[in-house]
Amino acid sequence: MGAAFGILSLGGMPSLSAAAPDGHGPPSAEGAVEGRGDALYRLQIPEGAPAPPAYANRTFRQSVRREAGAWLVTVVSFPSPVSDPRPFQPDWSSPALAGLPGPFLGELRAALRSCKTRDAALHAATLFLRARTTYLRQPDFDESPAEVCRRGRASCVGMARLARALLDALGIPCRPVLGLQAAGGSGPAVLEGGALHAWLEADLSGGSVFVDPWYSSGWVPERYVVLRVGDPLAPADLSRLAGGTLSALWRRDRIFYDPPPDTEALLWGPGTPRLFGSGSTLLGKALGSRRRRNDGLALNQRFPKVWAGR
């Protein structure tokens, strides 16, 4: 993303989705995410830098106001059932797919063969990309979709570009989003070395939703702050933010993960989230089949449904 910014991604985690209750949504084996997260941030940016916009879609809302020389940004994330039962009708001859390697497209077609609806295709495509791509903190090549496919590596920008090309061809219009990911700690995050992030806004029946190909389909958590929605996906012009700070004045997480049937979910206590084994991580909560305590942080409790609030 350029010298001024590194990239922070939740790329070690499997995708989690807000599943639909009517059978059209993502496979039940992935579990479902529901609930609500809220946050209030103080964004201090240099004079003349782009101001954060007000924004809303089906599962995310952001409002802004100017106060004492800074922007106060209120974010509400409300993962909820996301459904688009319209038939899945991919256009494999789409110009958006031009130049992508044949083996890659063949594997993609196989991964989507059982998808009948657009929401199922959205989720399956996200999982496919995550499984085939390694996260890059600092890209060392021009991240065109074709090159990302060939190398199997991408930053959040490269992944967003590739995912957009695929989703457009799959009949799911989308556009890029540039923004910030708030740090997990209590101190202010300097807007360099890890805060800038890119993801997508996808158009489904009933309204648009966010899709982060590294993390989730149908939603993003309250740790996300939107800076710009739409083209171009060129973060270099956001270099004017360098030296600014993002501070969480408060943040509440009441989002839960309903694991798939016949599985265990362990809720882990506060601390630095770690990725391990076959588990996954959701907003600082490690979930999955895991019996070994993690540096004393495990609450060692088993839940049919995991809920955490703070």
Rounded to whole angstroms, the Cα distance separating 3 from 8 reads: 14
- The tally of domains found in the chain comes to 2
Number of H helices, E strands in the chain: 4, 18
DSSP string for 3-40: TT------TTS--EE---TTS-SS-GGG-EEEEEEEEE
The per-residue pLDDT for range 217-255, each reduced to its tens digit, is 888 989 899 999 998 877 776 777 888 899 999 988 777
Residue 3 lies in a domain: no
Verify that 166 and 31 share a domain, yes or no.
yes
Range of the domain at 147: 16-258
86 with 35, same domain: the answer is: yes
**Choice among 11-15, 34-38, 41-45, 237-241 with the minimum mean pLDDT:** 11-15
Mean pLDDT across the stretch 55-68?
A: 95
Instruction: Tell me which of 243, 258, 273 is where a domain ends.
Output: 258
- Dump pLDDT digits (tens) for 86-121: 999 998 998 888 889 999 999 999 999 999 999 999
Residue 87 has, within 13 A of its CA and on its CB side, a CA count of: 3
What would the pLDDT profile of 174-202 be if each residue is shown by its tens digit? Answer: 999 999 888 766 667 788 655 688 999 99
Domain limit, last residue, from 218, 238, 258: 258
Helix (H, G, I), strand (E, B) or coil at 205: coil
Calculate mean pLDDT across residues 202-214.
Answer: 91
Nearest CA among 161, 154, 97 for reference residue 131: 154
For residues 106 and 13, which has the higher predicted lDDT (pLDDT)? 106
Tell me if 114 sits within 8 A of 150, measured CB to CB: no
Residue 79 pLDDT > 50: yes
- Is 170 inside any structural domain? yes
Would you say residue 258 has pLDDT above 70? no
